[in-house]
Amino acid sequence: MLNKLGHLISKNILKNTFHKVLRIDQMGRTFFCPEKPKRIISLVPSQTELLHYLGLEKEVVGITKFCIHPEDWFQNKKRIGGTKNINVEAINALEPDLIIGNKEENTKENIELLSNNYPVWMSDINTLEDALQMILEIGKITQTTTKAESLVNKIKSKISTKTNQPLHKAIYLIWKDPYMAVGKNTFIDDMLRNAGFENVILDDRYPEITVETIKQLNPEYLLLSSEPYPFKEEHIIILSKELPHTKVKIVDGEMFSWYGSRLLKSFEYFEGILSE
């Protein structure tokens, strides 16, 4: 009886790993997944847009409600909840053979839950270099290496080489009530540097900040992101009165925080900010 049970277990393990390969993600996690995944769920908007760029129309079967690009995917692909509030039943119904997420965008609890039943590849992105490596790794795991390598080369060709010019001191706000700024050890902080700005916030991650503190730091630019909080022209008026010596501008948050194929557009956008 025990021999028979052991045989069945071994047979099941072989069945589940046949034609599968061992992968390692950006968090150092290892798992088995199909050599060429055919049913992919994306839990991150910027990575969803990347999967579209790589031509994975048929393979991507599920996205989040925040995956607004491309528009036709947003309208037609099955939605599995939000980046942090996933619908497990919707995911189970899609029977994915690969789920692609991100350490910051998704919760540890959700990823651990999904990993019990599905292959989950996680990105961990704090710098532009991390983003480029993510593109290459997703290209490898989805067998779109040629397109991924071409995309990375195109992005690299657009990165500004004006490294000898002085950086403009700036603060980048992502939230209101309370105000929250972008700090160190974030992807946006690295993108600010690539855009020609010096982030004067020295705290890690996303600290709360007051208008009084902004006055004391005296940045040349106060950048108000369009996401996740949708800053509007009325906020420019309010903050400009408080900070008469600072240039207060609304910026496209996707250009600073989306780390997939959107990077093709980011650097030209950055030049436009400083040339205005």
Contacts (Cβ under 8 Å, ≥6 apart) of 39: 59, 61, 94, 95, 96, 97, 98
Please, how many CA atoms are within 13 Å of residue 43, restricted to the half-sphere of its CB?
27
Q: What is the pTM of this model?
A: 0.89
Q: 261 and 241 in one domain?
A: yes
pLDDT tens profile 104-114:
999 999 999 99
Q: Is there a single domain that holds both residue 34 and residue 149?
A: yes
Residue indicated by tokens 């780390």: 259
Task: Tell whether 80 is covered by a domain.
Answer: yes
If one counts the domains in the chain, the total is: 2
Quote the CA–CA distance of 48 and 226 in Å, as a whole number: 19
Phi, psi of 169 (to 5 degrees): -65, 130
Give the tens place of pLDDT for each residue, 163-186: 567 899 999 999 999 999 999 999
What pLDDT, on a 0 to 100 scale, did the predictor assign at position 183? 98
Give the percent of the chain with pLDDT over 90: 87
Q: What is the CATH number of the domain that holds 41?
A: 3.40.50.1980
244-265: average pLDDT: 96
Question: 138 and 28 share a domain?
Answer: yes
Whether the per-residue pLDDT at 6 is higher than 90: the answer is no
| Domain finish residue from 157, 192, 214 | 157
**Mean pLDDT for the stretch of residues 140-157:** 97
In a domain? residue 188? yes
